[in-house]
Structure 1
Amino acid sequence: MIQNSPAGILPAQSIDALLETGAVTSATAFDADQVQPASLDLRLGARVWRVRASFLPGRGRTVAERMAAVAMHELDLTRGAVLERGCVYIAELQERLKLPAGVSARANPKSSTGRVDVFVRLLTDNGIAFDDVVEGYEGPAFIEIAPQTFSVLVRTGTRLNQLRLKRGEPAKLSIRSVGVDLSNGVAGFRARRHAGVIDLDHVDGHDPRDYWEALKPYHGQLLLDPGEFYILASKEPIEIPVMEAAEMTPIDPSVGEFRVHYAGFFDPGFGTEEARGQGSKAVLEVRSHETPFLLEDGQTVARLVYEPLTERPSLLYGDRGSHYQRQGLKLSKHFKPWI
């Protein structure tokens, strides 16, 4: 089925087929909800290392070989471990890859990971770029974890990133600009510094006021302070057709010195009437760089790139439940509703 499919993003049933044929394996059984409409959640393994610097393995070198020179100490994730903000870690993942010819992959943080300002990137042996997995790759997978604002508690099985598998080089179907909504009474949230630890497996387990400050716009504008982290929402509802998937990409730096959206994957069915999600907005994770930046209502801050699926997915976004279908301005699932 996969060999004869056209170029495109692989949907849930094709990912299931890859698991069955051993293209993705794990020492433990896969979770029932690990396969998403157009991606596969990846799970932390048993060990994580605090490292003194980020790195790429480069051609001809493994992650383990490079890490030997930068590792500071090892933490046991089977007992749970707190990863401190401002530090960099490398963790092993439970999943191992043996991709067939013609199939490559790209990783991205899960939505809930990006919304708590945890920067994560996938590493593979011989890799010359973060998050990209070359066609036919066989070997282990690791994840770089760099909490930026909050220290976080993780453990074996915690899911921080996801893998989107593709056949060939899918065509870019369309590119859509995404503006920011600064028209409401509460336009966004700014992260509080020196807040407590966030347990990344505890849903609805944290009081948002301990971690966030609600922001009100002034005349449709919001001043971004350098180094601060913000949660904002898109001006327009977002819709991902059921035969497409999308990735949110940063705008050209010449338009504004800030980064938007660490977590860039949007699955088929997001925001659609068919998947009962009409009216959903994109949540934007925003960090200003170097200088203060005055953001205006409706200003373009990112772009959505749409790509085709190889076939209609057996699963749409929200079919297995979602914290973010039909969302407006919304914090991550770890927080109780803002009242």
Structure 2
Amino acid sequence: MTSFQIPARSGILPFQGIETLIAAGAIAADTPFDPDQVQPASLDLRLSDQAWRVRASFLPGRRKVEERIADVAMHAIDLPAGGYVMEKGCVYIARLQERLSLPKGLNARANPKSSTGRVDVFVRLLTDQGASFDDVDEGYDGPLYLEIAPQTFSILVKPGTRLNQLRLKAGEPAKLETRSVGVDLRAGEHGIVGYRGRRHAGVVDMDHIDGHDPRDFWEPLTLRRGELLLDPGEFYILASSDDVEIPVDQAAEMTPIDPSVGEFRVHYAGFFDPGFGTDEAHGAGSKGVLEVRTHDTPFLLEHGQTVARLVYEPLTERPARLYGEGGSHYQSQGLKLSKHFRPWG
């Protein structure tokens, strides 16, 4: 066992801090950790073989998650090694392989992985006695669960599938700055400005990289006027109008849109790791990909319109690994579908 010293500086723990927590037993798992599971400023979380189909989402409040599941479960699911199809329009709860025993002074926050958000799968972390989704209280000691709600496509998952990620924080990091993010509605490669999900597509295998023909799942959008009418209930993949750059000693989160700038939601997957889009990490010119879903009314987007906010926070120290080192599906990206799809061409 390795002891963990709470950093004197408030901030997000980098790669080496997360590895120290694992060595100290503050983060444990049912099975050995995968070699690439620790990211520059976050930890990928993996599904266990235990899940439930539920009739409603919930927060456990003062109870344990599995006590609350008993009130809403339709049936239990043993996720097989060969995979299980979670159907769109349904809600599931899965126990994760990882569990936490956080020391005082450390808290955590979860978010969908980028590849999860890009196929319109809504996921939220649950903890025992948790009062909110995705936030883990200081000193939490217990299991982790994931609410999974596929929206546009049904998905194939199995034990070990990674749908979300956890960011560990010492204290309450100061918000360094907040930047507005605009949308790019100019024609790019092949004249495409975005993609709209097909309502009656097949199943997305969440562990099959480059394994799907994008034409079976997406309708390309080609516009000439720099405007896009968002239809209620439809899901869109768009790109930011400006490049996104995350300094190597910071991390960022793209927050959902607020009502002051439009009645729609942008970006399920909010974490941007240190080094994203930087020369130092060989990622200059990286766009932010936007997952967009409107609410109850049609909404007309214009090129350059502000659609989200990017909030920057400090790390406790420079990470031993930067985003994109050893390869990445999304470094130096423009408008790009998730890694499950072959390039459009």
Q: Distance in 1 between the 2:202 and 2:75 partners?
A: 23
Deviations along 1:226-270, one digit per CA (max 9) or x if unpaired, are 010000000000000000000001232132110000000000000
**1:321 CA drift (Å):** 1.6
SS at match of 1:180: strand
| Alignment match of 1:46 (pick from 44, 49, 52) | 49
Q: Which residue of 1 aligns with 2:271?
A: 265
Shift of 1:78: 2.8
Q: What is the identity, as a one-letter code, of the residue corresponding to 2:230?
A: L
Give secondary structure in 2 for the equivalent of 1:253.
Answer: coil
SS of the aligned residue for 2:184 comes to coil
Question: Structure 1: which amino acid aligns with 2:80?
Answer: T
Task: Check conservation: 2:7, 2:316, Cα contact below 8 A.
Answer: no
The one-letter code of the counterpart of 2:192 is V
In structure 1, how many angstroms separate the alpha carbons of the residues matched to 2:288 and 2:275?
A: 13
Per-residue displacement from partner, 1:256-299 (whole Å, max 9, x unpaired)? 11000000000000000000000000000000111111100000
- 1:2–1:14 contact (8 Å) kept in structure 2: no
- Structure 2: how far apart are the matches of 1:54 and 1:250? 20
Structure 2 match to 1:154: 157
The residue number in structure 2 matching 1:301 is: 307
Amino acid paired to 1:10: L
- AA partner of residue 326 (structure 1): S
Bigger mean CA offset, 247-256 vs 204-213: 247-256
Q: Give the whole-Å Cα distance in 2 for the aligned partners of 1:210 and 1:251.
A: 29
- 1:175 and 2:159 equivalent? no
CA distance in 2, matches of 1:200, 1:167: 32
State which of 121, 131, 134 in structure 2 corresponds to 1:131: 134
Counterpart in 2 of 1:68? Answer: 70
- Aligned sequence identity (%): 73
The separation in 1 between residues aligned to 2:72 and 2:257, in whole angstroms, is: 33
Contact 1:33-1:320 at 8 Å conserved across structures: no
What are the Cα deviations for residues 168-223 of structure 1, in whole angstroms up to 9, with x where unaligned? 00000000000000011211000000100010000000000000000012311011
Greater mean alpha carbon deviation, residues 126-135 or residues 3-12 = 3-12
Counterpart CA distance in 1 for 2:6 and 2:37 is 23
8 Å Cα contact 1:271-1:277 kept in structure 2: yes
Root mean square deviation, CA, Å: 0.8
Structure 1, residues 21-65: CA drift from partner, whole Å, max 9, x if none?
Answer: 000001210000000000000000011100000000002x10010
Whether 2:216 is the aligned partner of 1:214: answer no
Aligned residue among 111, 116, 120 for 1:113: 116
| SS of the residue 1:156 aligns to | coil
Q: Distance in 2 between matches of 1:325 and 1:5?
A: 31
Q: Write the letter of the residue equivalent to 2:77.
A: L
Task: Give the stretch that moved more between structures: 201-210 or 4-13.
Answer: 4-13
AA aligned to 1:64 is E
**Mapped pair 1:165 → 2:161:** no
- The match for 1:240 is 246
TM-score, with normalisation over the residues of structure 2? 0.97
| Residue aligning to 2:205 | 199
User: In 2, distance between residues paired with 1:290 and 1:87?
Assistant: 20
Shift of 1:4: 3.6
1:313 and 2:316 matched: no
The answer for the alignment partner of 2:283 in structure 1 is 277
Following superposition, which runs of at least 4 residues in structure 1 exceed 6 angstroms of deviation? Answer: none
2:40–2:274 CA contact under 8 A, matched in 1: yes
The DSSP-based 3-state class of the residue aligned with 1:92 is strand
Q: TM-score, normalised by structure 1?
A: 0.99
